[in-house]
Amino acid sequence: MNIEWYVVLSSLLFAVGAMGILIRRSPVVILLCLELMLNAGNLALVAFSRMVGNQQGQIFAIVVMVVAACEVVVGLGLIVAIFRRKLPLDVDSLRELRG
Amino acid sequence: MEAVLFFLAAIGALGGAVGVVAMRNPFYGVLALIVHLFSLAVLFLLLTSAFVAAAQVVVYAGAVMVLYVFVTAYVGGDTESAWEPIPGQRFLAPLLGAALFVELSIAVLASSLLALGTHGPDVNPGFGDPAAIGRLLLERFLIPFEASSILLLLAAVGAVVLAGRSKSSEGAA
How much is the ipTM here? 0.90
Which residues lie closer than 8 Å to B127 by C-beta, 6 or more apart?
A53, A55, B48, B49
For position B76, what pLDDT does the model report?
A: 76
The whole-model pTM stands at: 0.88
Which of B42, B77, B112 is where one domain is finished? Answer: B77
| Residue B26, domain CATH | 1.20.120.1200
Decide if B101 is inside a domain: no
Q: Is residue A65 part of a domain?
A: yes
In a domain? residue B72: yes
What mean pLDDT do residues B66-85 have? 77
pLDDT at A94: 76
Is A39 domain-assigned? Answer: yes
User: How many CB atoms are closer than 10 A to CB B94?
Assistant: 15
In a domain, A94, yes or no: no
Smallest Cβ–Cβ distance between B75 and the set A28, A42, A47 belongs to A28
**Would B89 be classed as within a structural domain?**
no
Q: CB pairs under 8 A, 24+ apart, for B104-112? A: B104/A11, B104/A14, B104/A15, B105/A8, B105/A11, B108/A4, B108/A7, B108/A8, B108/A11, B109/A4, B109/A7, B109/A8
Mean pLDDT, chain B, integer:
84
Contact A5, B5 (CB under 8 A): no
Q: What is the phi/psi pair of residue B166, to 5°?
A: -115, 160
- Does residue A96 fall inside a structural domain? no
Nearest CA in chain A to B57: A65
Domain count, chain B: 2
Question: CB-CB: which of A23, A55, A78 is closest to B128?
Answer: A55
**B46 falls within a domain:** yes
User: Which of residues B8 and B119 earns the better pLDDT score?
Assistant: B8
Question: Are the beta carbons of A2 and B117 separated by less than 8 Å?
Answer: yes
Q: What are phi and psi of A54, to 5 degrees?
A: -135, 135
Instruction: Provide, rounded to the nearest whole percent, the portion of chain B with pLDDT above 90.
Output: 36
pLDDT at A86 over 90: no
Containing domain of residue A36, as a range? 3-89
Between B25 and B166, residue with greater pLDDT: B25
User: Mind telling me how many Å the CA of A34 is from chain B's nearest CA?
Assistant: 11
In a domain, A99, yes or no: no
Domain that holds residue B36: 1-77
Q: Is residue A14 part of a domain?
A: yes
CB contact under 8 A, A73 and B169: no
Same domain, B73 and B143: no
**Mean pLDDT computed over B104-112:** 83
Which of B39, B57, B77 lies at the terminal end of a domain, its last residue? B77
Tell me: do B73 and B136 sit in the same domain: no
In a domain, A16, yes or no: yes
Q: In the predicted model, is pLDDT for residue B173 greater than 50?
A: no
In a domain? residue B155: yes
Residue A67 confidence (pLDDT) = 92
Q: What confidence score (pLDDT) does residue B82 get?
A: 61
Higher pLDDT, B105 or B77: B105
Can you give the pLDDT at residue B83? 63
Is there a domain that residue A97 lies in?
Answer: no
Whether residues B1 and B73 fall in one domain: yes
For the stretch A18-72, pLDDT in tens is 999 988 888 889 999 999 999 999 999 999 998 888 888 899 999 999 999 999 9
CATH number of the domain enclosing A12: 1.10.287.3510
Check whether B162 has a pLDDT greater than 90: no
Answer whether residue B148 is part of any domain.
yes
Which pLDDT does position B32 carry in this prediction? Answer: 93
Q: Read off the pLDDT of residues B21-74 as tens digits, 9 standing for 90 and up.
A: 888 888 899 999 999 999 999 999 998 889 999 999 998 888 889 989 998 888
Q: Do B67 and A76 touch (CB under 8 A)?
A: yes
